[in-house]
Amino acid sequence: MTTQIYGAAQLDRPRHRFILDDYHAMAEVGILGEDDRVELIGGEVVQMAAMGARRAGRVQRLTRLLLPVLSDGVQLRVQLPVAIPDYDEPEPDLALVRAREDDYDQSHPTPADVLLLIEVADTSLVYDRGVKFPIYARAGIPETWIADPSGTSVERHGDPDTETGAYRSVAWFGLGETVRSSVLAELTLPVDSVLGRASSGSSS
């Protein structure tokens, strides 16, 4: 039994939770189209926030920064699904996953494939921290980052507690510093560049 509030009215009624198979079936029969910006969160089909220019630019910037520093065993996926049985299929802004020869064209990556997820938070900061990160932690995804274009730091969350849905380790990297992955030794990025504060023409 769950409670949902519509305006001033409060409705108490059972709600159906979709599992991954249901969600994929809706796409196969055309209920959900390829252009629909939705993701499966907690068994519910959730509309994703519109992609503003600032967030889109940061996602593009991070893509450019990440590609040259990744080892051959790691693949970068941009705004593509991660299947977390049984009720979640989020689409993080960036996912670093174990490289696979088929590029995951037979199935989406699962938590066992994921090394690091990055969310570029703009208007979604509270949602990412409060809703999506607990899902990632419960799934055992080893590391997640939040890059907030309006802020002055990058958050690194690690050491997931699969029971509580929390990350035991949280570190903040500020302007002028370098954010370092605790999972991928080769991954270090200047915070200024991640947040788009680098000087014009900088390639770092």
Dihedrals phi, psi of 37, to nearest 5 degrees: -90, 80
| pLDDT value of residue 1 | 36
How far apart are alpha carbons 191 and 72 in whole angstroms? 24
Q: Please report the beta strands in the chain, taking only residues with DSSP state E, as ranges in sequence order.
A: 2-6, 9-13, 38-41, 44-47, 74-78, 94-98, 114-120, 143-147, 153-161, 166-174, 178-180, 188-190
In a domain, residue 93? The reply is yes
CATH assignment of the domain containing 66: 3.90.1570.10
Domain count, the chain: 1
| pLDDT value of residue 176 | 95
Q: Kindly report, residue by residue over 1-60, the tens digit of the pLDDT.
A: 333 433 434 445 667 899 999 999 999 999 999 889 999 999 999 999 888 888 899 999
Q: How many CA within 13 A on the CB side of residue 65?
A: 24
| pLDDT value of residue 83 | 98
In a domain, residue 25? The reply is no
Structure-model confidence comparison of residues 202 and 52, the more confident one: 52
| pLDDT value of residue 103 | 96
In a domain, residue 106? The reply is yes
Q: Kindly report, residue by residue over 55-104, the tens digit of the pLDDT.
A: 899 999 999 999 999 999 999 999 999 999 999 999 999 999 999 999 99
What's the whole-model pTM score?
A: 0.87
Do 119 and 93 contact (CB within 8 A), yes or no? yes
Distances, alpha carbon 198 to alpha carbons 65, 93, 171, in Å: 12, 21, 21
Residue 161, pLDDT > 90, answer: yes
Please state the rounded mean pLDDT for residues 130-153: 94
| pLDDT value of residue 49 | 83
Q: Which residue shows structure tokens 């055309």?
A: 30
Dihedrals phi, psi of 129, to nearest 5 degrees: -65, -45
In a domain, residue 28? The reply is no
How far apart are alpha carbons 8 and 26 in whole angstroms? 32
| pLDDT value of residue 196 | 85
Among 11-15, 94-98, 114-118, 175-179, where is mean pLDDT lowest? 11-15
In a domain, residue 149? The reply is yes
Nearest residue to 68 (alpha-carbon basis) of 198, 149, 194, 188: 188
- Other CB atoms within 10 A of residue 15 CB: 11
Residue 75 belongs to domain spanning: 51-194
